[in-house]
Chains A and B, each alone.
Chain A
Amino acid sequence: MTSDSDGDLAPRLELHGITKIYPSVIANEDVSLSVKRGEIHAVLGENGAGKSTLMKMIYGVAKPDAGEMKWEGEVVHVENPAHARSLGIGMVFQHFSLFETLNVVENVALALPGNPDLKQLAEQITEVSNRYGLPVDPGRLVHALSVGERQRVEIIRCLLQNPKLLIMDEPTSVLTPQAVRKLFDTLRQLADEGCSILYISHKLDEIQELCHVATVLRDGKVTGDCIPSEETPKSMASLMIGKELPVPEHSAPAELGEVRLQLKRLSKESNDPFGTHLRDMELEVRSGEILGIAGVSGNGQQELLYALSGEIPVDDPDSIVICGAPSGRDLPDQRRGNGMGFVPEERLGRGAVPRMSLTENALLTAHRSGMLKRGMIQFDKISAFASKCIEDFNVKCGGAEHAANSLSGGNLQKFIMGREILLTPKLLVVAQPTWGVDVGAAAFIRQQLIDLRNEGTAILVISEELEELFEISDRIAVIAEGRISPAKKLADTNIDEIGVWMSGMWDQAVPAEVVAHD
């Protein structure tokens, strides 16, 4: 790593008028930015603003249609990722590019030139991981690592190539708050050593805390440059989404009604060799409340959702009670019949049939509410329902007759959420309600969930976004290593405590100052 911090040198990276056009969309239009040496430079924008495309072009995964890129003052055309790496550009992907069936050393070795000796490399990995506070065991298989550990492997892999520019694509979306702080320390240390960092995010508070400079993108264009420390989250948000950020209204907790979902010592061995076993889960969700379940992904969320939806029934019928009915062995259809609605994490395949129209997809879960007449489909009713869903939830699509897979992820999410919400179920189980949805639409979906709660629905939300859970939940619990923590009222807890719990430590009493300073 170079240690030059001389301001007279050419910027490490300059982009001039970069444009990238895909068949249906202009991903980037006339984007220019400049990154100095040792600078942490934020690229801020909503989902679909063109941040990732821009980074892919810098890293050589995609090629720009127009524009010029300068590396340390010289014009370069990055042909492919190998070329980018030879220049000194490293990238940590949002969806990791690790190989699960290989171990850490092998994964790192693949990214290095030549034929490194694996034993020596393992020592190097340990050394780098100690120097930057990124603990990881070089001998372990990647599939057995937590998401946070995988990210460390990605970062270490980049660091071993002595990068001059490190691109981080939404690195914190998978981390606990404590892990985020550690990551920031590492990034600051790197920047002090002269490495430039391009930091992509839509989280305003993080950018304010970490970044020296920010470039804001909207619809593929630069809408402004700013110094985050001199801005307010509000002013950056208006640059990012072009209007004020709507804040959901969280009215006082509604009258709590009957218990709609109860887990009694729910345990389930996972069939998946890399899965998590559920152990003795206890939980209660009442009518008129939103219970949020926080946790780092891979701690049993998937398995819990399969057990709740009925896709993988459990042996003991009494361990899952839905609206008073012991339902452990019931199939999804029976559970829906008892008044449960369900939104899975995967939109295509589980939430919707990709090649079927929106109308047909609506019918799949709405068929109970008067859409059938003696077994015949009432097409006028179902298309009215689908159209209402599209209208109410502002789903951008060609029309109700278009296939589900023609929608963008965020719009399909809005449609699926709308479909379940419009059915006003007694109990709604939702995974990642706003995953991949832009900030404005996310606020809208959250508001809809709160409104639904006010009408008396019991809602269980499983999400990895802590901010989201703190925004909408009445009570919050944590899932870690297949166990579930006691639920706490929102007023009685805070992000730090939940963060500690996310590593599975709710049984131990943690002194308050440790929580505060970790």
Chain B
Amino acid sequence: MDGSIISSILFATIVAGTPLIIVALGQLIAEKSGVLNLGAEGMMAMGAIAGFAVTLHSGNPWLGVLAGMAAGIAMSFIFAVVVLTLMANQVASGLALSILGVGLSAFIGKPYESEILPTVETIRIPLLADLPIIGGPLFNQQALVYFSWALFAGIAWFLYRSRPGLILRAVGESPSSAHSIGYHAINIRYMATLFGGAMAGVGGAFLSVFYTPLWVEGMVSGRGWIAIALVVFATWRPFRVLVGAYLFGGVMVAQLFVQGSGLEINIPSQFLSALPYLATIVVLVIISRDQNTVRLNAPVSLGQPFRPEA
């Protein structure tokens, strides 16, 4: 295999992993505050159609990303009101949000189905991009790829080095204890949930504006669910989210490569298509077997409503 093939596989892997990283890191923040939002799939779908439509009309992909973000925030705001203010069950509400988002995006997207957006140019980092093999994949990438790295670094710093991050983790472990020492647990959960929604929207917009610049109903195709699973199997740790996302992207690209290569293999294509999901889950289950890590990192109050005493 020559360098250019490795380079292009690496490039595709990183691009495929990027929306997962953005969405999963957003969900990680929400979950660290104790809110389990299963609506990621729906929020991504809404982000994707909003991003696509605005980019098409304005011609500016960055406005599209902002629109995707706004759509994600709006969706998560509905969710937050339902589960944080009205104390509804988080699992059921999240499932409903997913179904709502997927359906609504299909409805809004009907007129856009035949449209195609121009490809957005990558951003080339001088000198570094000229490195052999890794130069292209790492340093001549879509802007949102760089954003996902910054997001990772920012979130790792936020969670483990900053005071607001400490407060967030405290709320996720025990909102009642946090309340009793004077923190407004509900407000903190609101902000974390909206952040999760914003990132899901950006992840969705990345799909429809940068990754495959067109709109097809159901184009999110389970990535929202994978992002949620990633967070759990990564035991709520940002670095493992990164690893899991690229693993998923890598197997996704590899199976496409195998399917498209015309090699004579007797494996059903459906199995190959399922492989990225399978491989990601198997690997993450193996690395998350350590009970200690799980107990130290899992937000104890995940999914539990909190109502301060009157």
Chain A interface (Cβ within 8 Å of chain B)? 56, 59, 61-63, 80-83, 85, 91, 93, 96-102, 106, 109-111, 115, 141, 143, 271-274
User: What band does the interface of chain B fall in when counting residues whose beta carbon is under 8 Å from A?
Assistant: 20 to 34
Contact B163 A115 (CB under 8 A): yes
Give the top 7 A-B pairs by smallest Cβ distance, nearest first.
A82-B182, A97-B177, A273-B292, A81-B182, A97-B180, A111-B181, A115-B163
With A81-B181, A102-B170, A274-B295 known as contacts, the answer to whether A61 contacts B309 (CB < 8 A) is yes
Q: Classify the interface of chain A: helix, strand, loop or mixed.
A: loop
27 contacts between A and B (CB under 8 A): A59-B180, A61-B180, A62-B310, A81-B179, A81-B181, A82-B181, A82-B182, A82-B183, A83-B182, A85-B181, A85-B182, A96-B177, A97-B176, A98-B177, A99-B174, A99-B177, A100-B173, A101-B297, A101-B300, A102-B169, A102-B170, A106-B166, A110-B166, A271-B291, A272-B291, A273-B291, A273-B295
- Chain B residues near A141: list those with CB within 8 A: 296
How far does the alpha carbon of A106 sit from the alpha carbon of B160 in the complex, in Å? 11
| Least distance between A461 CB and chain B CB atoms (Å) | 30
Of B173, B181, B292, B308, the most chain A CB neighbours within 10 A belong to B181
From residue B306, how far is it (CB to closest CB) to chain A in Å? 13
Shortest distance from the beta carbon of A23 to any chain B beta carbon, whole Å? 11
B174 — nearest CB in chain A belongs to which residue?
A: A99
By a CB distance below 8 angstroms, the chain A residues around B174 are 97, 99
Residues of A within 8 A of B166 (CB): 102, 106, 109-110
Chain A residues within 8 Å of B182, by CB: 80-83, 85, 111
Chain A residues with CB under 8 Å of B176's CB are 97
Please tell me if the beta carbons of A101 and B180 are within 8 angstroms of each other in the complex.
no
> Which of chain A's residues have a CB closer than 8 A to the CB of B219?
none
**Chain B contacts to A: CB under 8 angstroms:** 163, 166-167, 169-170, 173-174, 176-183, 291-292, 295-297, 300, 308-310
With A97-B181, A110-B181, A115-B163 given, name 19 new contacts (CB 8 A): A59-B180, A62-B309, A81-B181, A82-B183, A97-B176, A97-B177, A97-B180, A98-B177, A100-B300, A101-B169, A101-B297, A101-B300, A102-B173, A109-B166, A110-B178, A110-B183, A143-B296, A273-B291, A273-B292
B309 touches A56 (CB 8 A): yes
**Neighbouring B residues of A61 by C-beta, 8 Å:** 179-180, 308-309
Interchain CA distance A143-B169 in the complex, whole Å: 15
**Contact yes or no, B169 A93, CB < 8 A:** no
Residues of B within 8 A of A99 (CB): 169-170, 173-174, 177-178
Minimum CB–CB distance from B291 to chain A (whole Å) comes to 5
Q: Distance (Å) between the CB of A143 and the closest chain B CB?
A: 8
Which residues from A are CB-within-8-Å of B291?
Answer: 271-273
Nearest A residue to B296 via CB reads: A101
